[in-house]
Amino acid sequence: MEIFHISAECYPVAKVGGLADVVGALPKYQNKAGHLARVVIPCYDTKFKKENKFECVHWGFVKLGKFNFSFNVLKETTDKLGFELYLIEIPELFDRKEVYGYEDDIERFLSFQIAALDWIIGRNEMPDVINCHDHHTGLIPFMMLYCDKYKKIQNTPSMITIHNGLYQGQFGFDKLHYLPEFDLAHVNVLEWDHCINSLAVAIKCAWAVTTVSPNYLNEINYSANGLESLFNIVRYKSRGILNGIDTEVWDPAKDKMLEKNYSVENFQKGKQQNKETLCTLFNLDPKKPLFSFIGRLLEEKGGDLLPQASALALSENYKEINILILGSGNQEIENHLNSLLVDYKGNYNTFIGYNEELAHLIYAGADFLLMPSRVEPCGLNQMYSLRYGTIPIVRRTGGLKDTVIDFGDDGNGISHDQASVGDICYSIQRAVSLYKDKKHLNEIRQLGMNTDHSWEKACQEYIEVYNLIINKV
């Protein structure tokens, strides 16, 4: 089966969060299973682009209203990622350092989607399925169905995978003329809540809708940033497939970013050595339990709760625990977190920014990973931490509920119900008690390390959904 994944991110080419990890892994496992999975993303000004070789396999023009952009399709020449990678190069719009966050994001991602489809329909053979990811590629299923110039691909099934339904890519009808010509009888398909909503369009037009965990699919029926009723309507074509993790990239026995590699056989020594390195780097005490947080510092992740929860936990357990925060996002939260540095020096530290190497070292060296998320469609951090023998402390939501069971129920982690300072601190207290019971602590760590979160099963489920929609043709 030939599959095209079209996305805004792909690890290790361009990463902001979990979307990149999934798009950088799922196609690799689909290829290993005997399919031909390719990835198409925009060509940003990234380290990967600079350090690798590409050949131009196609060029063309995108017309966006009165604007004209020339584009190239660049193919990575070695296939070293485990899949064919294609970058859509539109220098005026994408030759920039960041993936998102520009005023012209609508124009950027619309041009990308049009260029990607122009190239795909210019090929001799159409793929068996097009798998779009999140709202940045949400207009593709619509264009495939209704735009005159894409008639050739009208009968090819499309699927939208929702990694985060909070972000929907809305824009006004004043930009309707950016879309390639289509039969205006279908213009209402574009509308949701008085604007063009890219994610809603994809949900309506794609032949199948998947979310990145089964529990998230249940949750979005009553909490989806305005799309609840739409999710109810399309339930018949929806499925929640729990993400896997790339066990080749995330392997404590081989991870080059660690100070010391280890496996489930010798994890106590290995973890301690990584912890000592981390504690030296961040002026913390390696004899005390180390609690960490890695991620975007936003309300969605419970980031706003971290400063108060850290201050409270440190004052209650002062000199008993360490806390280390790695992340960036809301400036107010960042400042609040940094304001604790003086009072809790020696027990608390932060790294405000994005640092892939440090994230790996933290998964290995921390004892507990905090994830007090309000919304977590799947969450990969808890799966990485389990694999690295670090116990996740999570709020029971989305994919966290599917993957972390409280140790009180013989599970692999610690979980609480509320995204609140009180619940986080209570969980930290339970973790401190657990930390003193080394036998029990190590049993839970072992359980986590032995859990199979590999992509093989999820990969099979994706293929099942593709087959369902292909057989409908």
Interface residues toward ligand ADP, by CB under 6 A: 17-19, 21, 164, 294-296, 326-328, 354-356, 359, 378-381
Q: Burial code of 9-43, b = ≥16 C-beta within 10 A, e = fewer? A: bbbebbbebbbbbbbbbbbbbbbeeebebbbbbbb
Euclidean distance between CA atoms 391 and 130, whole angstroms = 37
Minimum Å gap between C-beta 272 and ligand ADP is 22
Asked if 198 contacts 168 with a C-beta cutoff of 8 angstroms, the reply is yes
Euclidean distance between CA atoms 170 and 458, whole angstroms = 30
Q: Which residue has the tokens 């070695």?
A: 78
Minimum Å gap between C-beta 175 and ligand ADP is 27
Q: Burial code of 80-90, b = ≥16 C-beta within 10 A, e = fewer? A: ebbbbbbbbbb
Measured at CB, which residue is nearest to ligand ADP? 18
Minimum Å gap between C-beta 392 and ligand ADP is 11
Residue 384 vs 435, nearer CB to ligand ADP? 384
Residue 242 vs 321, nearer CB to ligand ADP? 242
**Secondary structure class of 350 (helix, strand, coil):** strand
Q: Which residues pair with 454 in a beta bridge?
A: 245
Asked if 325 contacts 350 with a C-beta cutoff of 8 angstroms, the reply is yes
Q: Which residue has the tokens 């792909």?
A: 10
**Secondary structure class of 376 (helix, strand, coil):** coil
User: DSSP per residue over 4-15, as a string?
Assistant: EEE-S-BTTTB-
Residue 347 vs 381, nearer CB to ligand ADP? 381
395 φ, ψ (degrees, to nearest 5) = -85, 140
Euclidean distance between CA atoms 31 and 38, whole angstroms = 9
Give, in order, the Cα–Cα distances in Å from 380 to each of 296, 318, 363, 400: 13, 30, 11, 9
Residue 127 vs 327, nearer CB to ligand ADP? 327
Minimum Å gap between C-beta 84 and ligand ADP is 23
Asked if 200 contacts 220 with a C-beta cutoff of 8 angstroms, the reply is no
Residue 100 vs 318, nearer CB to ligand ADP? 100
State both tokens at 371. 């994830």
Residue 294 vs 421, nearer CB to ligand ADP? 294
Euclidean distance between CA atoms 313 and 292, whole angstroms = 13
15 belongs to an annotated ligand binding site? yes
Euclidean distance between CA atoms 257 and 325, whole angstroms = 18
Euclidean distance between CA atoms 240 and 209, whole angstroms = 9
Minimum Å gap between C-beta 73 and ligand ADP is 27
> Could you tell me which of 252, 239, 212, 257 has the C-alpha nearest to residue 26?
212
Minimum Å gap between C-beta 22 and ligand ADP is 8
Euclidean distance between CA atoms 262 and 264, whole angstroms = 7
- Which residues, 6+ apart, have CB-to-CB distance to 425 below 8 Å? 309, 312, 313, 316
Asked if 271 contacts 358 with a C-beta cutoff of 8 angstroms, the reply is no
Q: Which amino acid is residue 212, in one-letter code?
A: V
Residue 5 vs 204, nearer CB to ligand ADP? 5
Residue 241 vs 326, nearer CB to ligand ADP? 326
Residue 8 vs 469, nearer CB to ligand ADP? 8
Minimum Å gap between C-beta 414 and ligand ADP is 17
Minimum Å gap between C-beta 29 and ligand ADP is 17
State both tokens at 39. 């990835």
Residue 351 vs 426, nearer CB to ligand ADP? 351
State both tokens at 24. 């950088």
Minimum Å gap between C-beta 359 and ligand ADP is 4
Minimum Å gap between C-beta 126 and ligand ADP is 31
Residue 31 vs 243, nearer CB to ligand ADP? 243
Minimum Å gap between C-beta 363 and ligand ADP is 7
Q: Which residues are annotated as a binding site for ADP-alpha-D-glucose?
A: 15
Q: Which residues are annotated as a binding site?
A: 15
